[in-house]
Structure 1
Amino acid sequence: MHRVPQLTTPWASRDLQRAWEKTYQNHRKKVQNAQPLVDTRPPQTYSHLHLKFKKLKMEEERLSIIDRNNYLLLQRVASAMKTGRRIDGQNNFTWRRS
């Protein structure tokens, strides 16, 4: 064990002893007057854990692609309706007897 250095002057040790006693008594007073404290608040929530911006961006891009495809399909249906329902692939096959 380490030895505590001994002071050469007795008045210095007396003053130090008083200072230590005063500090210890202040500490004991604080410990006796301490009030119980229980934190009943819920833990702090962070928005970046609940809002997933990457997922929202991917969903937005997917919906924009679907909207674009729906618009193109609507244009095709509208042009087919305007042309009067013609048959696109007509077969000009003539029957021949052998």
Structure 2
Amino acid sequence: MTLRLVPEPDYTGEAGIMAMRSLQQALTVALQQEDWERIRHLDRVCVVLIDRVIAANRNDKSTLIRALSELKGVYAGLIAQCRQEVTLLHAT
């Protein structure tokens, strides 16, 4: 049995934005499917990813703004969907 190390992902610049976009797409799909367990998991992953993207781009504010602005839109949709679900639950 051989142990191989995997290099740490690079979150600088465009690589960080692409990682955030990949997570956003997964969140969007989970939201469309109303897969709340997956959304909870991805939300926890998002916290870690945001920390890593911020750390990797401390000197590149434009990358941070792009990555976080796009993510903000996904979470706005998520919040709206949650509000709608709560309203439907209270109506029944």
Shared fold, TM over 0.5: no
| Structure exhibiting the larger radius of gyration computed from Cα positions | 1
Kindly indicate whether structure 1 or structure 2 has the higher relative contact order, using CA contacts under 8 Å at least 6 residues apart.
Answer: 2
Q: Give the TM-score normalised by the residue count of structure 1.
A: 0.29
Larger helix fraction of residues: 2
**Given the two structures, how large is their TM-score scaled by the length of structure 2?**
0.31
